[in-house]
Amino acid sequence: MISTQSIEALQKKFPDVPKTIILKADLLRIGVKFSETALKAIGKEKIQCKGYFIFSQDIGGEEAFVEGKIPHYLYFESDDAAVQVRYNTKSPYLVDLVEGKFILRDGTGEEVEKVYFEKAPKWLFETIGDTPMQAIVQPIGKDKVVCCFDYYCDFWTKGEQCLFCNIVTHLKGKKQQEKGVITRHDPKLVAKCMEKAFLDPPFRHMALSAGTILRPRDGKNELEFLIEYLYAIGEKLGVNKLWSSYFQIVPHSKDEIKKLYDTGVTSLHMNLEVWDERLFNIICPGKARVIGRDEFIRQMIDAVEIFGKGRILSDFVTGVEMAQPFGFKDVKSAVKSTLSGFEFLMSHDVLPRMDVWAVEKGSALEDQSPSPLEYYIEVERGYLELRQKYNFPFPFPGYCHGCTVSSSASDWDYHFWER
């Protein structure tokens, strides 16, 4: 259910949790809308708006990737927390403009936080040939650049995609509304875009991704196809290591992982998505069939021997384990399951990380209700305690307070980690 409670009421529920952590979790969970006056003011500024991204990340059956309309990220003035904007016209949260300042209102209409928007980097509006740069690379938060080499996931060909994912349906929508949308990018063009992006001083992190590849791409197998991009970027940037970079890929054998390590990429994401074995098989049917949960976990742990502690990460779509009718029915059971998985992986030097589940149009779960706010507060609190126990402080490889936009993990560190 979407909450319409005041932030004051929510703070009474969680008196030891900073307001901005509660707000960020709730905004990611149920989204935010904008007043017309706020949108007009945003339209006058060169702010990075939604468009060209891998997923819509919008909630409530609507997509807002029309260029120049809805900001991609907002920031809290009080602690600079970066929040991915998940547009939802039914959200109780509203960004408004009052006396020239952007404010966030809760479900009662009260102002709960002052917010601001970062101007987009100049390169975002440049073109290379006939291709807009933002069709190839986009900023995440204040200091990270992301590129998805291949916007298609082969699990969709057999209807075995992860149930929360809308990568292919979102791609089709983008092609109808935006110019220059390309399913598969040329390695040299990607490298050239990365070179331009990293001339801009604030950008320090790099995220590299692709949908799962099961069939040959341009006559190459998955590893050959992906390695070509990594070497092209490394050569263009003129560095031996793709510093503070991570690459998302399904697990592979040690020999194959070593080939990826030799490109200079500094960490890998192998995204298990959900811990419970029964739910993994339901929610991630393609990964369950092609790899299998036990093998997935084993190969992640093996990869640590090559990349080192904290350099193999696994993303979890937190909250999706409460999807109905098959998911956990109560918060306590869901939190217990997820944290048990986090602890197992951390005890083997694999670093789990979180993305708050966005109930996106075009996914198999598009009609679901978001998981309760209580779930996110408890799982993020437990996540912090486990990272303290196993010594995994921020920043992570490719993540910091300025670019961790889809969970509150860095914000818990900001407020609670002893310095």
Residue 345 lies in a domain: yes
Which single residue is written with the structure tokens 């919008």? Answer: 58
Number of structural domains in the chain: 2
> Mean of the pLDDT values across residues 89-104?
95
How far apart CA 380 and CA 386 sit, in angstroms, is: 10
Taking only the tens place, the pLDDT of each residue in 159-173 is: 999 999 998 888 887
Residue 94 located in a structural domain = yes
Query: Residue 248 phi/psi, 5° resolution?
Result: -95, 130
Q: Contact at 8 Å (CB) between 357 and 316?
A: no
Q: Which of 92, 116, 140 is the last residue of a domain?
A: 116
What DSSP designation does 98 have? E
Predicted local distance difference test score (pLDDT) of residue 13: 85
Task: For residue 408, tell me if it sits in a domain.
Answer: yes
Q: Are residue 53 and residue 167 in the same domain, yes or no?
A: no
pLDDT tens per residue, range 375-399: 999 999 999 999 999 999 988 888 8
> Are 78 and 187 within one domain?
no
Q: Is the pLDDT of residue 227 over 70?
A: yes
CA distances to 146, 245, 260, 264 from 205, rounded to whole Å, are 9, 6, 18, 14
Same domain, yes or no, for 186 and 108? no
- Considering the domain architecture, whether residues 34 and 143 belong to the same structural domain is answered as no
Q: Kindly report, residue by residue over 329-353, the tens digit of the pLDDT.
A: 999 999 999 999 999 999 999 999 9
Q: Does 75 lie in the same domain as 129?
A: no
Which of 13-22, 229-238, 239-248 has the least mean pLDDT? 239-248
Q: For position 67, what pLDDT does the model report?
A: 46
Whether 6 shows a pLDDT value over 80: the answer reads no
For the chain, the average pLDDT equals: 90
Q: What percent of the chain has pLDDT over 70?
A: 94
Q: Are residues 226 and 368 in the same domain?
A: yes
pLDDT for position 418: 64
Rounded-to-integer distance, Cα 272 and Cα 335, Å: 16
Structure tokens that stand for 256 in this block: 């194959």
Q: What is the mean pLDDT of residues 182-200?
A: 88
Report yes or no on whether pTM surpasses 0.85: yes
* Nearest Cα to Cα of residue 183 among 219, 206, 213: 213
Whether residues 166 and 35 fall in one domain: no
pLDDT greater than 50 at residue 96: yes
**Of residues 51 and 59, more confidently modeled:** 59
Coil, strand, or helix at residue 87? strand
pLDDT at 1 over 80: no
Which residues form the domain of 22? 7-116
Q: Are residues 49 and 75 in the same domain?
A: yes
Co-location of 83 and 146 in the same domain? no
Ranges of beta strands (E only) in 160-311 are 205-209, 245-248, 268-269
- Identify the weakest region by mean pLDDT among 78-82, 178-182, 310-314, 329-333: 178-182
Q: Which amino acid is at 58?
A: D
Dump the DSSP string for 299-338.
HHHHHHHHH-TTSEEEEEEETGGG-TTTS-SSHHHHHHHH
Instruction: Identify whether 2 is part of a domain.
Output: no
Residue 93, pLDDT > 50, answer yes
- 268: CATH: 3.20.20.70
Apex CA 22: angle with CA 352 and CA 9, to 5°? Answer: 150
The model's pLDDT over 37-48, given as tens digits with 9 standing for 90+, comes to 999 999 888 888
